[in-house]
C-alpha cells in the first residue's frame, strides 16, 4: 500500500514538473517599439471586405485600432498622408527558404535539405535559419512582413517548418511568430525518387506512397503508446521511449502541426488527400500545385489551400502541364488560392506575380477584383499557416502588419513605400535610416555601415 502511494506521488510530481518545464525553442520575439499612427487618404484593401476609397487606418499599441473612410485618431498620432497610394495587409509568403538557403548562396550555406533519409521528420528548419541572411531585408522592401520557412523537398518528410516575422534578430527564435503552429514539409513526386532512387529509398511514386503510409502507421502506434501511458497514470518508470521523428508525425495526427505539401501533379494531390483520409489528418496546403486547376473542386471540398506561381512551370516533367490561369481557376472554384515564391528573387515581387495572375484570369474570361486578389498574398496564406485570427487582414484587433504601396499594388510600376510590423515602421523607402541591413552586409555593400 505504501509503495503504491509513493508511486502515485512520484507520478504526480513528475507531471507537475513536466507542466512547469518551459516550451523548448519558444519564440523570444519582441514587437518593435511603435507609435500611434494614422494613415489617411489611401485606397485600402483590407482582405476582409470591399476596397475603401480615400480611407484611413489607425494603428495603435501594435494593433489595427480602426479602419474606414472616417477614423478618429488621438492628437499625438503620427499622420501619414497616403493620397494616391494604396494600403494592404503585409504580404505573407507561405513558401520561403530564406535563411536556410542564405545569400551569398555558397555550399556552406546550403542548409535546407537534410538529404540523408527519405524521412527526416525529426529536423526543424529553424535550426538552420541564419538570421544574418541579407535576403530578408530585400523581401521587406517588397512589402513582406511574414514568411514560412521550410526545409527543402528532397525527402518524403523533410522536417518541421516555421513561421517568422521579417524583423532583425540575432536568433531564429527572435524572429519566430508567437503562437504560430509548426508545419511539416512533405514532398510528392520526382524529388524523393530522384534523390533516393539509387540510395535504397523509394525509386517510384508507388514507393513514395508506401513510405508515407509506413511512416503514418508507425506514428499512429507511437501516439497510441503515449496515450495509453498517460491514461494509465503516467508512471515515470513505464514512460515510452521518446522518438523525435515520430513525435513530429504524432503532432500532425493531434492537429498541432500543419501539413505543407510540395506537390505538382493533380493525381498526386488526390492521392495525398486519400492518405490524409486514411490516417485522419488534414493537409493545410499543396505547394507549387502546378496542376491545381485540374482538381480545384477537390481542393475546395477538402478546404485545402493551393500555393501557386503565376507562370513558373515546365522546368521538369511533373511541372510541364502548368497554365497561367491556374490561380484564377482555383479562385473561381471557391478555393483558397495563394501566390507564393519559393524564390529569393520572387519574394521581392509577389505583388507583381499576383498582377500576372489577375491578367491571365481576365484573358480567360475570369474577372478577379483587387479585393479578392489581395487575399492571395495576405489572409489566404495566413489561413494556410494557422495565423489568420491574428494577422492577414486589416481588421480591428489584428496585428498592425501593413504595407503602403506607391500605387496599385498589382502594377509592375508600383513598389512598397513603407512597411509596418506590429504597428512599427520597419521600412521606409524614402528614409535610409529605415532601411535595415544585417550585420553581415556592413562594409560589404556600398554605403552600408560607412
What tens digit of pLDDT does each residue of 243-259 get?
999 999 999 999 999 99
Residue 271 lies in a domain: yes
Residue 68 lies in a domain: no
Residue 364 lies in a domain: yes
Q: How far is CA 390 from each of CA 64, 150, 262, 386, rounded to the nearest angstrom?
A: 10, 21, 26, 9
Residue 105 lies in a domain: yes
Residue 109 lies in a domain: yes
Residue 23 lies in a domain: no
- Percent of the chain with pLDDT strictly greater than 70: 94
Residue 396 lies in a domain: no
User: What CATH number should be reported for the domain holding residue 101?
Assistant: 3.20.20.140
- Give me the average pLDDT of each 10-residue run along the chain (450 residues): 46 51 90 97 98 98 97 96 98 98 93 97 98 96 98 98 97 98 98 94 96 98 97 95 98 98 98 98 98 98 98 95 98 98 98 98 97 98 98 98 98 98 98 89 70
**Per the structure, how many domains does the chain have?**
1
pTM of the model: 0.94
Residue 304 lies in a domain: yes
Residue 356: give the domain boundaries: 91-391
Q: How far is CA 32 from each of CA 167, 169, 174, 249, 440, rounded to the nearest angstrom?
A: 9, 11, 11, 34, 21
Distance, in Å, from the CA atom of 295 to the CA atom of 301, rounded to the nearest integer, reads: 10
Distance, in Å, from the CA atom of 375 to the CA atom of 16, rounded to the nearest integer, reads: 44
How many Cβ atoms from other residues are within 10 Å of residue 35's Cβ? Answer: 12
Amino acid at each position: 500500500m505504501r509503495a503504491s502511494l509513493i508511486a502515485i506521488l512520484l507520478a504526480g510530481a513528475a507531471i507537475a514538473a513536466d507542466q512547469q518545464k518551459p516550451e523548448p525553442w519558444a519564440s523570444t520575439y519582441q514587437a518593435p517599439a511603435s507609435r500611434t499612427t494614422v494613415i489617411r487618404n489611401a485606397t485600402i484593401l483590407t482582405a476582409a471586405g470591399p476596397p475603401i476609397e480615400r480611407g484611413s487606418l489607425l494603428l495603435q499599441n501594435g494593433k489595427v485600432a480602426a479602419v474606414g473612410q472616417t477614423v478618429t485618431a488621438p492628437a499625438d498620432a503620427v499622420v501619414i498622408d497616403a493620397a494616391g497610394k494604396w494600403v494592404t495587409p503585409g504580404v505573407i509568403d507561405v513558401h520561403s527558404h530564406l535563411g536556410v538557403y542564405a545569400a551569398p548562396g555558397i555550399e556552406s550555406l546550403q542548409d535546407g535539405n537534410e538529404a540523408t533519409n527519405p524521412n527526416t521528420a525529426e529536423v526543424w528548419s529553424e535550426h538552420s535559419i541564419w538570421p544574418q541572411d541579407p535576403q530578408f531585408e530585400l523581401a521587406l522592401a517588397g512589402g513582406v512582413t511574414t514568411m514560412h520557412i521550410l526545409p527543402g523537398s528532397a525527402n518524403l518528410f523533410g522536417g518541421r517548418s516555421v513561421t517568422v516575422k521579417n524583423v532583425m534578430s540575432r536568433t531564429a527564435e527572435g524572429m519566430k511568430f508567437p503562437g504560430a503552429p509548426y508545419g511539416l514539409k512533405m514532398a510528392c513526386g520526382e524529388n524523393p525518387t530522384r534523390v533516393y532512387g539509387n540510395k535504397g529509398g523509394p525509386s517510384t511514386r508507388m514507393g513514395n506512397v508506401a513510405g508515407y503510409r509506413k511512416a503514418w502507421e508507425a506514428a499512429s502506434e507511437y501516439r497510441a503508446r503515449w496515450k495509453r501511458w498517460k491514461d494509465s497514470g503516467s508512471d515515470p518508470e513505464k514512460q515510452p521511449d521518446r522518438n523525435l521523428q515520430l513525435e513530429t508525425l504524432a503532432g500532425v495526427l493531434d492537429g498541432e502541426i500543419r501539413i505543407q505539401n510540395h506537390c505538382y501533379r493533380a493525381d498526386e494531390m488526390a492521392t495525398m488527400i486519400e492518405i490524409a483520409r486514411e490516417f485522419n489528418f488534414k493537409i493545410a496546403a499543396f505547394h507549387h500545385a502546378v496542376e491545381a486547376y485540374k482538381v480545384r473542386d477537390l481542393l475546395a471540398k477538402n478546404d485545402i489551400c493551393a500555393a501557386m506561381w503565376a507562370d513558373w512551370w515546365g522546368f521538369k516533367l511533373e511541372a510541364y502541364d502548368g497554365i497561367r490561369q491556374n490561380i484564377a481557376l482555383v479562385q473561381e472554384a471557391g478555393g483558397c488560392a495563394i501566390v507564393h515564391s519559393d524564390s529569393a528573387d520572387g519574394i521581392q515581387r509577389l505583388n507583381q506575380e499576383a498582377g500576372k495572375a489577375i491578367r491571365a484570369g481576365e484573358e480567360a474570361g475570369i474577372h478577379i477584383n483587387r479585393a479578392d486578389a489581395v487575399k492571395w498574398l495576405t489572409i489566404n496564406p495566413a489561413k494556410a499557416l494557422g495565423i489568420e485570427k491574428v494577422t492577414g487582414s486589416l481588421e480591428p484587433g489584428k496585428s498592425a502588419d501593413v504595407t503602403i504601396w506607391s500605387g496599385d499594388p498589382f502594377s509592375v510600376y508600383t513598389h512598397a513605400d513603407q512597411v509596418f510590423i506590429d504597428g512599427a515602421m520597419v521600412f521606409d523607402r524614402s528614409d535610409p535610416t529605415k532601411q535595415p541591413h544585417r550585420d553581415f552586409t556592413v562594409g560589404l555593400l556600398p554605403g552600408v555601415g560607412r
